[in-house]
Amino acid sequence: MTERYSPEPEALRLNDAQVEALERICARYGVEYDPGHYFIYPPGSVMMSGYAEGWVGGTDYAHRTLYIGVSPDGRISS
């Protein structure tokens, strides 16, 4: 699997609210939580700046779970 974001900038790491939300939804779907499954839009992005998005459980679960976005404050949208 190709790394989708640089590990350098602090802003591109999941924050605590996003991690908690992702852990909860992964548990609900019975899949393992892996932070590497989620792309984070950089600050200033024309897309959803600061949001993390990806398939719940990673691409192995594509179309069997939800593709979600998680806001910086932990709100999940699908």
Percent of the chain clearing pLDDT 70 (strictly above): 86
CA angle 12, 55, 35 (to 5 degrees): 40
Residue 5, classified by CB atoms within 10 Å of its CB into exposed (0-12), middle (13-18) or buried (19+), is middle
Is residue 3 situated within a structural domain? no
DSSP character at residue 60 = G
Number of domains making up the chain: 1
Q: Check pLDDT > 70 for residue 45.
A: yes
Its domain, for residue 65, covers 10-77
Is residue 51 situated within a structural domain? yes
Q: Check pLDDT > 90 for residue 16.
A: yes
Is residue 29 situated within a structural domain? yes
Is residue 25 situated within a structural domain? yes
Is residue 1 situated within a structural domain? no
pTM of the model: 0.79
Is residue 2 situated within a structural domain? no
